[in-house]
Amino acid sequence: MKINGNFLNIAESYLFSMTAKKIREFVAETGKDVIRLSIGDVTLPLPAACVEAMEKASREMGNKATFKGYGEEQGYEFLREKIREYYTAKGVDLSINEIFISDGAKSDLGNILDIFAKDNIVYMSDIVYPVYLDTNIMAGREVKFFEGNAKNSFLPLPDENVKADIIYICSPCNPTGAVYNKEQLKVWVDYANRNGAVILFDAAYEAFIRDKSLPTSIYEIEGAKECAIEICSFSKTAGFTGTRCGYTIVPLDLVRENVALNKLWLRRQTTKFNGVSYIIQRGAEAVFTDEGMKQVRQNIDYYLGNADIMRKTLKEMGIWFVGGDNSPYIWLKCPGGMSSWEYFDFLLSHGVAGTPGVGFGKNGEGFFRLTAFGDRDNVIKAMERFKNAK
Amino acid sequence: MKINGNFLNIAESYLFSMTAKKIREFVAETGKDVIRLSIGDVTLPLPAACVEAMEKASREMGNKATFKGYGEEQGYEFLREKIREYYTAKGVDLSINEIFISDGAKSDLGNILDIFAKDNIVYMSDIVYPVYLDTNIMAGREVKFFEGNAKNSFLPLPDENVKADIIYICSPCNPTGAVYNKEQLKVWVDYANRNGAVILFDAAYEAFIRDKSLPTSIYEIEGAKECAIEICSFSKTAGFTGTRCGYTIVPLDLVRENVALNKLWLRRQTTKFNGVSYIIQRGAEAVFTDEGMKQVRQNIDYYLGNADIMRKTLKEMGIWFVGGDNSPYIWLKCPGGMSSWEYFDFLLSHGVAGTPGVGFGKNGEGFFRLTAFGDRDNVIKAMERFKNAK
């Protein structure tokens, strides 16, 4: 038996293990506490509406009359219909046949690659959610990068000389927090349509967008239904990181080589997936009730409130940054010309931990990520430490 | 962008849509009722222990102090430890690092192929769970078949002239209900080790084995840890078909090309998967409580009781069959030399539906599958119809 040798080409990332080790050592040596502005996970509990829905669904599973066995692989209609309505409110018309429920964006981002041939050229930001890169290395595909930097405010546009087949766009971006506007996304959509490429649009942080002029779905852009797959999740919207539910939209109009990609993805999912738990789908459905939506908004307001406190401090200190207004992430330029790791060590010595930007790609050198998922009191205390750090 | 053209080589299966259509038409034309002995899904509700555990876990998710965000991709230790103990009781020693929790056997059976190179020869039964075949066609692999038939009681052994790399074994088998004994599995393990092949052992129906001499895990066979991956599920054990939880065992001793497959699978799962819902993992953990185990056994007893009634009738009628004693499936030879579809039509005209064997592969022609997942009263009534069918 021959193994898939491409696995051996995936770089081991030491980013999070290294930051954890440094924090551990600092605490052991100094006895001081460290406030972590490096948390990439939500911390607020699930909305009560979701909890109640899942308790009820659990009980239904224990009663013969209401028990549910296998559901459709693409998800229950009750949930797909709610997502359809959610998009209608954004001005995007979808059919429920274009919506596929999954156990989360990470699974879909990895699994969607099954429907593409190996010999496609993949195009992504150099500063990137590592899953985009690793899944393609695993499949042995060629990857080219577009470069985010301070000059383009970490919102790079395509290089017309690159002929790409599969394009990754994350907006609001993890890790930079930068958000593309409609004009910028139109450039990407037009580029993709000119090249016959497919955009994989990661909208996991769309619920953090509060500026109504910014697009929360790529389908707000004309021509996107002919070139883009949108992948989204309840993880950051409703705190589902440990509950696991997301969805992927493959428009019926997205056709390549005379084959509808919707049909290929349906085939992939019906062959290699058996749907998301009924209980969890009922929990996700509750996100869309009035009560659920209100609770979700309160939670996101809380995180954005944290980000706002951080933004104010950075502005006062004259530190360059993007993000934090329509995103839980802030991406700052390390002051004093420090490298990402130098700044990490410097901040840590003052009791605050963040994430070195270089860990997300070479263009991240000299930059640094802060996240807004922590406690309010800690954020306030951390900003005091920021100001006093010398 | 180029699509994965292998998708176009997957045969569309009309088996279940065709049987459903014929039943629908029969009912519309005659107004008679049809008892379905064709159900491949469980019908009894979840054990109360599982329901209570999931209600509790749902509430934990609504409380900041007990909320759970991202868990480890390979599953919570509380569940992996319970599975380890379950195997210990079978006489199989595992480390929890060899156990990976998933959302079900179908996902793992599909996704495990990521760790293998494309140019491996795959070896499976001609009468087969379609997922084995379709997932490999999707990846463009060459597939060879071993042939189950009445002569070998649908428990085929390897052809030594075939040099296979990846071997699928399902025992108790879906769709035949046949169960390999230890001597037969030893032949497969030895063959795999001689050829450097890897066995993918589908143990989804292991909980139905009541004959203590029959192996419920391939690791009961000497040498299996050097060649076999075992994939199992709570779907048929505890009625989790709509709740979604399973597990895969990749022994640390399973090494090919100097690489531990355990490490490759861990890499695959940490890159393309984000673990199973905390709530669902708590439900699966409850299967292993005394109360859960008792309830699970009662449910399986019920299904096996159905199978027993069917077996008695078939014996009385002198119909040849396998399965049904350690499996929810019975695989019978169509009486009177009828083809699978002729027998389907014949039985349907007497108000009973089953599944034509030829739908699972060419060697299934002339055979027929009955399942024991229905209601007791209906099974008794269906057997009366069997006896009176002329």
Answer with the one of B288, B309, B344 that is the final residue of a domain.
B288
A127/A367 Cα distance (integer angstroms): 11
Same domain, A357 and A277: no
| A5 in any annotated domain | no
Same domain flag for B267 and B226: yes
C-alpha dihedral sign at B377, B383, B387, B388: positive
In a domain, A6, yes or no: no
The amino acid occupying position B244 is R
DSSP state of B128: -
pLDDT tens, residue order, chain B (390 aa) = 999 999 999 988 888 889 999 999 999 999 999 999 998 899 999 999 999 999 999 999 999 999 999 999 999 999 999 999 999 999 999 999 999 999 999 999 999 999 999 999 999 999 998 999 999 999 999 999 999 999 999 999 999 999 999 999 999 999 999 999 999 999 999 999 999 999 999 999 999 999 999 999 999 999 999 999 999 999 999 999 999 999 999 999 999 999 999 999 999 999 999 999 999 999 999 999 999 999 999 999 999 999 999 999 999 999 999 999 999 999 999 999 999 999 999 999 999 999 999 999 999 999 999 999 999 999 999 999 999 998
Same domain, yes or no: A135 and A156: yes
Q: Return the H-helix or E-strand segment holding B195.
A: helix B182-195
**Domain check: are B138 and B182 in the same one?**
yes
CA B336/CA B211 separation, integer angstroms:
32
- How far B389 CA lies from chain A's nearest CA (Å)? 31
Number of folded domains in chain A?
Answer: 2
* Same domain assignment for residues A60 and A159: yes
> Looking at the complex, does the CB of residue A140 fall below 8 Å from at least one CB of chain B?
no
- The pLDDT of residue A14 is 82
Residues B28 and B113 in one domain: no
Residue at A7 is within a domain: no
Q: Is residue A73 part of a domain?
A: yes
User: Is residue B1 domain-resident?
Assistant: no
Residue type, B45: P
**A242 contacts B277? CB cut-off 8 A:** yes
Non-local (6+) Cβ contacts of A155 within 8 A are: A148, A178, A179, A180, A184
Domain boundary among the residues A288, A318, A351 is at: A288
In a domain, B5, yes or no: no
CA count, 13 A, side-chain hemisphere, A299: 25
Shared domain check, B221 and B135: yes
Inter-residue contact A135 to A167 (CB < 8 Å):
no
ipTM field? 0.97
**Which of A 196-215 lie inside 8 A of B, CB atoms?**
196-198
Strand ranges (DSSP E) for B234-300?
Answer: 246-249, 255-256, 259-260
The confidence score (pLDDT) of residue B12 equals: 83
Q: Contacts of residue A278 in chain B, CB cutoff 8 Å?
A: 242-243
What tokens were used for B161?
Answer: 């002239």
Contact B45, B239 (CB under 8 A): yes
Q: Which residue of B has its CA nearest to A239?
A: B69
Of B272, B288, B304, which residue constitutes the final position of a domain? B288
Residue B232 lies in a domain: yes
CA distances from A265 to A66, A112, A127, A272 (A): 30, 7, 28, 10
Residue matched to tokens 């459905």? A285
E strand or H helix that includes residue B162: none
Residue B231 φ/ψ region, left for φ over 0, alpha for ψ in the -120 to 50 degree band, beta for the rest: beta
Q: Which of B48, B59, B241 has its CB closest to that of A70? A: B241
φ, ψ of residue A247 in degrees (nearest 5) = -155, 155
Cβ–Cβ under 8 Å, residues A210 and A179: no
CA terminus-to-terminus distance, chain A: 58
User: Are A251 and A326 in the same domain?
Assistant: no
Does the CB of B283 have a partner CB in chain A at under 8 Å? yes
Helix extents (H) in A196-260: 235-238
Structural tokens at position A349: 């010595």
- Taking the CA atoms of residue A312, residue A318, residue A320 and residue A324 in that order, the dihedral angle to the nearest 10 degrees is 0
Torsion on CA atoms B125, B174, B220, B276, rounded to nearest 10: 110
On whether both B167 and B179 belong to a single domain, the answer is yes
Flag whether A2 is in a domain. no
Q: What predicted TM-score, i.e. pTM, was given to this entire model?
A: 0.97
How do A166-170 and A121-125 pair as beta strands? parallel
Instruction: Report the interhelical angle of A261-272 vs B130-138 (nearest 10°).
Output: 140
CATH code of A18's domain: 3.90.1150.10
Q: Are residues A341 and A241 in the same domain?
A: no
A119: contact with B, CB 8 A cutoff: yes
Structure tokens at A169: 């766009």
Radius of gyration for chain B, computed over Cα atoms and rounded to the nearest angstrom: 21
Stated as kind and residue range, the H or E segment containing A140 is none
Residues A210, A357 within the same domain: no
Q: What is the pLDDT of residues A149-192, one digit of tens each?
A: 999 999 999 999 999 999 999 999 999 999 999 999 999 999 99
CATH of the domain at B273: 3.40.640.10
Judging by beta carbons within 10 Å of its beta carbon (0-12, 13-18, 19+), is residue B192 exposed, middle or buried?
A: buried
**Quick one: A203 and A333 in the same domain?**
no
Q: Give whole-number Cα distances, B40 to A34, B34, B133, B221, B230, in Å.
A: 54, 16, 19, 29, 21
CB spacing of B48 vs A54 below 8 angstroms = no
Paired with A3 in beta bridges are: B116
Q: What sign results for the dihedral spanned by CA atoms A273, A278, A279, A281?
A: positive
Question: Does B225 touch chain A if contact means CB atoms closer than 8 Å?
Answer: no
CB-CB neighbors (< 8 A) of A268 in chain B? 7, 138
How confident is the model over A81-117, as pLDDT tens digits?
999 999 999 999 999 999 999 999 999 999 999 999 9
In chain A, whose CA is at the least distance from the CA of B265?
Answer: A7
Domain span at residue B298? Answer: 11-40+291-388
